[in-house]
Amino acid sequence: MSTFAVGDEDFLLDGRPVRLLSGALHYFRVHEEQWEHRLGMLRAMGLDCVETYVPWNLYAPGPGRYGDVEALGRFLDAVERAGMLAIVRPGPYICAEWENGGLPHWLTGPLGRRVRTLDPEFLAAVETWFRRLLPQVVERQVDRGGPVVLVQVENEYGSYGSDRGYLEWLEKLLRECGVSVPLFTSDGPEDHMLTGGSVPGVLATANFGSGAREGFAVLRRHQPSGPLMCMEFWCGWFDHWGTEHAVRDAADAAAALREILECGASVNVYMAHGGTNFGGWAGANRTGDLHDGALRPTVTSYDYDAPVDEAGRPTEKFWRFREVLAEYAEGPLLELPAPPARLAAPVRGVLGEWAPLGEVLEVLGDEESRAPMPPTFEELGVDRGLVRYRVEVLGPRQPYPLGVTGLRDRATVYVDGVLAGVLDAADGEDVTLAEPVAGPAAVDLWVESLGRVNYGPRLAESKGITGGVRHERQYLHGFRAQGLRLDAFEADAVAKVPFGPVAAEAGPGLYRAVVVVAGAGDAWLRLPGGVRGFVWVNGFCLGRYWNAGPQESLFLPGPVLREGANEVWVLELEGGTGTDVVLDVL
């Protein structure tokens, strides 16, 4: 058993001053069979601690329903076996470029802006979740022989709200649930953020990517004593679809890391290893200084230009950081662990079977809903996936503009079964087809959720069509809506899809291939002819692909592949896929 405390100037481990050299590694973005390797990479870089968020929505698909919540405990056990300490950030909001900032859609749908406040309905849901989650953290605290030394209260609350009573309520709940190690908050080093996000008596930490001396000076104005810590040292950044790949110079990042340590501070490298947004869990952001502009969805890769790349390999930044950390680590640094197995040779498979999207919806879709106006994804209970909205334009009537108000995502529109255009929320939430539509006509709008906003004032907004569909100035009424959730794609269900040979005119739908592998291991998966959609390998969802870039390949963890035959499903939502699926060596 050990003790860990916040001293006047330092963290104290068994009464001895210590500096935390931590790195962010989100266990839910790494295949479980590769946790040990990634932790070994962090140790070899010179880190002695690991930090992770916990995404509420990943484990709670509905009220009172839970998935593999115990995954966190297994990860913390792996951290202990690796000889490292742990920092846990349970939220309930986590940001993390994760869908809805980790908040469940079934909660934010009805509550909206009432989340992250003292609203009784929100607090009741949080308490239920924390009492389910936290026992596995409590029993692994350092004072009980485990690795956990710090637990966070909320996350970057000062950049969102000012309900101090809510933060104090969370602090009390954490203590009631048995958290005995020190608590902390983390915010940007700006007065309004630290004022809004801090809790009296709770250690405040700062998040930044450079300017450590200036950042810590601001923090000291709000917190005159206590150890300094940069809880998120942003050594890279994430990407949005349709933008340039973000890269930070390794020497520049290493110099910023050195400045933090020269200040006598502890550090958490964000990200030390980013991993992947498997399963379509990537979030989205709004453009503009106030984060209230156009929607920009985050790519599947969460490589983050981190020192340990998405595939677990050391980068130049790894070696530069290792040089800096070696001067501050206790004892000699460890050698790199043996790398995971990699695909022995490139493999090409043929997407030889196909079922149109409408037929896939009939087999795997939810029950159709009817409403006067288009229901949102939240009202339909759809978290990740798409919804087909059907509505009739009465006639006869002359051609008028057909538009959508309150579009939060991307809609592929068909008029009388013929593709009429694609409407994108990146162009604004009120958008109109290029060509007018005459009546009578049957209109189908296939709307895909591109990820819920994870940061800023637009957090908790609904997805799908949140306004209506208009023909000229007239709203259309009488909608039929049907959801197709990503979670519906399971082996037994997909086996019922009526696949046939891929026709020359094959477009959106579910494609299937069998890829034979000799020498399984980590690989990249490419779809040279694909436009936009999702990929599964042996039932494991790798995430979204999109020819908008900058991401061109999906990371395929070796433990997902099998020797011999592997089944690949490709859900193409906008065009065709071509004929090939390619597995490339790393």
Active-site position among 97, 154, 171, 232: 232
Calpha distance 153→166 (Å, rounded): 10
CB 458 within 8 A of CB 414: no
Active-site position among 97, 99, 154, 156: 156
Scanning the structure block, which residue is given the tokens 């936290």? 134
CB 178 within 8 A of CB 133: no
CB atoms within 10 A of CB 67: 11
Calpha distance 360→480 (Å, rounded): 17
Q: Is the peptide bond before 110 cis (omega within 30 degrees of 0)?
A: no
User: Long-range contacts for 3-9 (Cβ within 8 Å, ≥24 apart)?
Assistant: 3/142, 3/143, 4/142, 4/143, 4/149, 4/150, 4/181, 4/182, 5/182, 6/182, 6/203, 6/226, 6/227, 7/226, 7/227, 8/225, 8/226, 9/225, 9/226, 9/227
CB 518 within 8 A of CB 563: yes
Calpha distance 571→356 (Å, rounded): 10
Would you call 405 helix, strand, or coil by DSSP? strand
Calpha distance 586→403 (Å, rounded): 45
Task: Look up residue 486 and give its two tokens.
Answer: 């990503």
Is 378 among the residues known to form the active site?
no
For residue 205, list its beta bridge partners: 186
Eight-class DSSP state of 29: G
Would you call 466 helix, strand, or coil by DSSP? strand
Calpha distance 270→24 (Å, rounded): 5
Is 232 among the residues known to form the active site?
yes
> Rounded to the nearest 5 degrees, what angle is found at the Cα of 486, between the Cα atoms of 483 and 487?
105
Residues acting as catalytic residues: 156, 232
